[in-house]
Amino acid sequence: MASQDWFDKDFYKVLGVSKDVSEAELKKTYRKLARKYHPDSNQGDPSAEAKFKEISEAHSVLSDPEQRKEYDAVRAMGGGARFTSPGSAGGNGGFEDVFGGMFGGAGGGRGQQQYTFQQGGGYDDILGGLFGGQGGGRFGQTSGGYRGFGGPTRGSDVSASATIDFITATQGDTITLQTSDGRPIKVKIPAGVADGQKIKLRGKGQPSPDGGESGDIILTVTVRKHPVFERDGLNLRVNVPVTFVEAALGATIEVPTLGGDPVKLRVAPGTPSGRVLRVKGRGVKTAKGVGDLLAVVQVAVPSHLNAAAEEALEKLREALPDENPRADLLARARG
């Protein structure tokens, strides 16, 4: 914004507030006006867009304590005067009339002081020196804002969270979230999203205060645990209990799948507890690949035996070779 605009525009009037408005009231008033005139809510209405930029421009100055102080000082000194270019007609009320005394001039005309503006300089460079700035922005300060001093300010990012069920995380779906101001937002959950993963919703965060790009929503996903399945990368793990007889003699068993019919697997004779049986292609399906279903065999030991079962086991023990299955473990532990 050129310094001339600070003379011409009454930012307090633009926002409809008094000059002694508090920071909290200023913020509240701006948010109300921004919601009313935001382009997203007034598509195809150029007057609303222009009004939004105007209130954003006013807020960007008045919300900054330093800029507000300088704006008030310039308005008080200027008294509504306009800048006039060297050599133009108009006589009184020009740049020298307002600031002549500061530069050692007598004021009242253009004969007392001469200023030459080089390329890249301007009124802001001179005013910046008066207020201790370094030039290159509004009174020496780089800032966001409409009209490009530092570029429009990007809206703030917003952190959010969503809890989804295991199947939704595995297979993907579209869910609807509600923002703090009541806006519904549809979110596409990609297949295979993991617990704790973050999803960026570009442009769905806080709007810019001065017509720039909106911020993002950073959504953290929490996945509910499944009572049967666990994720292992793209694979799904499931613990499958088998009886001692099935593990010892072999059997064909049914294994559940996620969201589908059970599949039949062959348990070979002598299968130990912990052995993994793999079902190809029945894991998590994503654009990057397809996982498998990993069925982990767990030999189930009966907790109660009747007399006949105990007698049969005693006979089995007598028939089995006299060997210690922990002998190799003990030997390796001794080194």
Task: Summarize pLDDT for 322-334 with one digit per residue, the tens.
Answer: 888 888 889 999 9
- Is 174 among the domain residues? yes
Distances, alpha carbon 291 to alpha carbons 36, 160, 231, 295, in Å: 50, 30, 10, 13
Domain boundary, last residue among 173, 194, 223: 223
What is the separation, in whole angstroms, between the first and last Cα of the chain?
80
pLDDT of residue 232: 94
pLDDT of residue 40: 74
The neighbour count for residue 58, using CB atoms within 10 Å, is: 25
Please name the residue that has the structure tokens 């028939």. Answer: 319
Tell me the residue range of the domain where 22 lies.
3-80+116-130
Please answer whether residues 157 and 215 qualify as being in contact, where contact means their C-beta atoms are separated by less than 8 angstroms: yes
- Is 92 among the domain residues? no
- Is 171 among the domain residues? yes
Domain of residue 21, CATH code = 1.10.287.110
The neighbour count for residue 18, using CB atoms within 10 Å, is: 10
The residues, ordered by sequence, that sit 6+ positions from 237 with a Cβ below 8 Å of its Cβ are 229, 230, 231, 294, 296
Do 246 and 208 reside in the same domain of the chain?
no
Domain count for the chain: 3
Do 31 and 125 reside in the same domain of the chain?
yes
Do 169 and 187 reside in the same domain of the chain?
yes
Least confident of 111-115, 145-149, 170-174, 257-261: 111-115
> 3-class DSSP state for residue 301?
coil
Do 121 and 209 reside in the same domain of the chain?
no
Please answer whether residues 207 and 38 qualify as being in contact, where contact means their C-beta atoms are separated by less than 8 angstroms: yes
- Is 36 among the domain residues? yes
Residue 146: both structure tokens together:
């409409």
Do 249 and 297 reside in the same domain of the chain?
yes
pLDDT over 90 at 227, yes or no: yes
Least confident of 3-12, 155-164, 177-186: 3-12
Distances, alpha carbon 274 to alpha carbons 73, 239, 267, in Å: 79, 9, 12
> Mean pLDDT over all residues of the chain?
78
pLDDT digits (tens, 9 = 90+) for 231-260: 999 999 999 999 999 999 999 999 999 988
What CA–CA distance (Å, rounded) separates 100 from 308? 116
The neighbour count for residue 126, using CB atoms within 10 Å, is: 18
- Is 136 among the domain residues? no
Phi-psi region of 156 (alpha: psi -120 to 50; beta: other; left: phi over 0): beta
pTM of the model: 0.52
pLDDT over 70 at 122, yes or no: no
- Is 40 among the domain residues? yes
Which of 266, 278, 261 has its CA nearest to residue 242?
Answer: 266
Do 270 and 166 reside in the same domain of the chain?
no
What CA–CA distance (Å, rounded) separates 174 from 329? 52
Domain boundary, last residue among 166, 197, 223: 223
Distances, alpha carbon 299 to alpha carbons 62, 138, 152, in Å: 73, 76, 66
Please answer whether residues 205 and 215 qualify as being in contact, where contact means their C-beta atoms are separated by less than 8 angstroms: yes
Mean pLDDT to the nearest integer, 24-52: 84
Do 211 and 238 reside in the same domain of the chain?
no
Please answer whether residues 210 and 145 qualify as being in contact, where contact means their C-beta atoms are separated by less than 8 angstroms: yes
Do 11 and 61 reside in the same domain of the chain?
yes
Do 65 and 165 reside in the same domain of the chain?
no
- Is 111 among the domain residues? no
Please answer whether residues 224 and 282 qualify as being in contact, where contact means their C-beta atoms are separated by less than 8 angstroms: no
Please answer whether residues 57 and 12 qualify as being in contact, where contact means their C-beta atoms are separated by less than 8 angstroms: no
Residue 118: both structure tokens together:
């080089």
Do 239 and 216 reside in the same domain of the chain?
no
Do 204 and 240 reside in the same domain of the chain?
no
pLDDT digits (tens, 9 = 90+) for 287-334: 889 999 999 999 998 888 899 999 998 998 889 888 888 888 899 999
Domain boundary, last residue among 176, 195, 223: 223
Do 185 and 167 reside in the same domain of the chain?
yes
What CA–CA distance (Å, rounded) separates 35 from 26? 14
Strands 251-257 and 293-300: unpaired
43 or 16: whose pLDDT is higher? 16
Amino acid at 204: K
- Is 316 among the domain residues? no
223 or 112: whose pLDDT is higher? 223
Mean pLDDT to the nearest integer, 274-278: 96
Mean pLDDT to the nearest integer, 163-173: 92
In order, the DSSP letters of 161-221 are: EEEE-HHHHHH-EEEEEE-TTS-EEEEEE-TTPPTT-EEEETT-SPPPTTS-----EEEEE
Domain of residue 174, CATH code = 2.60.260.20
Residue 13: both structure tokens together:
């009037």
